[in-house]
Amino acid sequence: MEIKQKRILLVIILIFMVSSFVLLLNTPADEDEDNEHTIQELDETSEVITEKLPYTVEVNEWDIRPENIAYRVLFDLMKSLESDGIISNAAYIRFTRLQGDENEFVVAVVMQVLLPDDDSSGPPWMPDYDVTPFLQDIVWILTIEKGGDLTYSLTNIEKTDDRSIGLPLVQSMEEYLQEIGMETPVENIGYQLTEEALQVTYNNGESWLKVPVETEALYGLRDRFNSQLLMGSYILSNERTAFLLQNEEGAVHVIMSTDNGKTWEETPVSSNWASGRFGKIEFTTDQDGYLIFSGERTMGFEAHFIYKTNDGGKSWYNAGFVEDTHQMVTDGGFINDQLGFMSFGYTLNEDQAPTPHFYRTENGGDSWEQITIPIPEEYKGFFTVAEMPTFQGGDGTLVVNQGAEGDYLGGKVLAKFTSHDEGKTWSFAGLVDPNGVLE
C-alpha cells in the first residue's frame, strides 16, 4: 500500500512539472496593458540583477566553449533570483558567442522568463486561474571575464531587441529547397507495403497496382521500426518507378517500370550480400544511374559497395567502394556519371570536436578523395554529418546535420555550405531552420 501511494505521489509531481513546462512554452502574449506591466517588472528585475554584478561562478572542467560557460554562469544567477522570489523560472533558447578570447568574451543569450504574480488567485499552472506574467524573447548581451582556472565572472549585461543577434543568414526549409531547385515529390504517386504485397498508385490512391515481387524480396530494405521501405531505396516518378530488393538469401535485385506500372523488369545486381542497413538508388540521366548498398555491420563498421548502370538499369556493374573507410554510410550519390560524393557520419579526433567524414570522386568512383568541410569555430561539435549535395552547374549546396544525438536548438537546424568548384572546397553560408525555432 505504501509503495502504491508513493507511485501516485510521483505521478502527481510529474504532472505538475510537465504542466509548468508546457505553460512556460505556450503562454500567449498579454494585451498591451499587461505588456507594459511585465516590461516594467522586467526593468525592475534587471536593476536587481545589475546589483548582483559581478557575479562569479566556478564551472566544470569540461565547460570549454564560451557559450557553455555563459550558460553555467547565467543559470546559476537566475537560480539565485528564483530563490529570492524575483522570478519564477527561466528557459534558454540559445547562447551565441559574439567576440572575445578565452580571458574575456561576449555572449548573446535569447531566453524566456516567468515572473511571480502576487495577484494570482491560484496556482499559475491551472488553466482556470490568472496567468503569471510571461516574458518571451528576452535578449541580453553578457560580458564574462575569466578569474582562476575554472572561475568566471559575469561583469555586464546589456539589453537588446535583436533576437537574431550573432546569427548568420537563416533560411526556412521552404526557402532552402526553392534556392537549390529541389523538385516537389509527385503527390499522386505512392506505394503501400503489406504482408501480402507491394503496391503502387499513380492516381493518389484511387486504384493500386501490384508490383510483381514477393514481399520476402524486400526483407533487407525495410525500416526495422515501421516495416516501411528504407528512404532512398525506391524511385517514384512519372518517368520511372524502381524498387531496390534484397531477399533472405542476400541477393540484391532492382525491379523497375517505365510505363507507370504496366510492365516491370527485374534485374540482378549482386548475389552475396548480408542483410542491408542502407540502400539508395537514383538516376542522373535516362541511361546513367547508381545504387549504393551497405551491410555486414560489425562493431560499428560495415562494408559498402557502389553499383552503376549506363543502359537505363538493364544491367548493373560494380563500381567499387571508398577504400579509406569502413565507417557506416549515412548518405551518398552521384551528380552525373563522373562526379560523386559519399558521407560516412563523422570523424572523432583526439581532443577535437567531431567533423564530417566526407569523400568526393571526379572519375566515376575509380578513386575517392576526402574533403574538408570547414565548420565555423562556434558550431564545431554541433554540425557533424554531411548530406548529399545538390548542384546547378559547377555551383553546389550542401547541408550538414547534427546526427542522431544532436540537440543544438532542438537538433534539427542545419548548417549550409556552398561550393563553386564542383565540390572540391566548401564555404559556410548560413543555417537552415526547418522548424522555425530561430524565427
Residues 6+ apart with CB under 8 A from 221: 229, 230, 233, 244, 245, 246, 276, 279
Distance, CA of 409 to CA of 69 (rounded, Å): 17
Q: 174 by DSSP, 3-state: which?
A: helix
Specify whether the CB–CB gap between 398 and 389 falls below 8 A.
yes
Distance, CA of 232 to CA of 332 (rounded, Å): 10
Burial of residue 383 (number of CB atoms within 10 Å: 0-12, 13-18, 19+): buried
Rounded to the nearest angstrom, the gap between the alpha carbon of residue 378 and the centroid of all alpha carbons in its chain is 17
Cα atoms found within 13 Å of the Cα of residue 437, Cβ hemisphere only: 19
Q: 70 by DSSP, 3-state: which?
A: helix
Strands 151-160 and 170-172: unpaired
Domain boundaries, the chain: 2-165, 188-321, 322-439
Residue 272: closest CA among 298, 289, 293: 293
- The residue type of 151 is T
Positions of E strands within 299-389 = 301-309, 317-318, 331-334, 340-347, 355-361, 369-371, 385-386
Strands 252-257 and 265-270: antiparallel
Residue 67: closest CA among 416, 379, 410: 379
pLDDT tens-place values along the chain, 439 residues long: 443 444 444 434 444 443 443 344 444 444 444 445 444 555 556 677 888 899 999 999 889 889 999 999 999 999 999 998 888 889 998 999 999 999 999 999 999 888 886 544 444 433 444 455 677 788 999 999 999 889 999 999 999 989 889 999 999 999 999 999 887 677 799 999 988 899 999 999 999 999 999 888 876 677 766 678 888 999 999 899 999 998 777 788 999 999 999 999 999 998 776 667 889 999 999 999 999 998 776 666 788 999 999 999 999 999 999 998 889 999 999 999 999 999 999 998 777 889 999 999 999 999 999 999 999 988 999 999 999 999 998 899 999 999 998 999 899 999 999 999 999 999 999 999 999 988 7
Q: Which residue has the cell 539508395?
A: 280
Distance, CA of 383 to CA of 402 (rounded, Å): 5
- The residue type of 39 is I
pLDDT of residue 43: 59
pLDDT of residue 220: 67
Q: 203 by DSSP, 3-state: which?
A: coil
Give me the phi and psi of 324, to 5 degrees please: -85, 0
Burial annotation 298-317 (CB, 10 A radius, 16+ → b, else e): eeeebebbbbbbeebbeebe
Q: How is residue 335 written as a grid cell?
A: 551528380
Question: DSSP assignment of 266-306, as one string?
Answer: EEEEES----EEEEEEEESSSS-EEEEEEEEEETTEEEEEE
Give me the phi and psi of 184, to 5 degrees please: -75, 130
pTM above 0.85, yes or no: no
Distance, CA of 273 to CA of 217 (rounded, Å): 13
Specify whether the CB–CB gap between 154 and 144 falls below 8 A.
yes
Q: How is residue 141 written as a grid cell?
A: 548581451
Q: Which residue has the cell 553578457?
A: 142
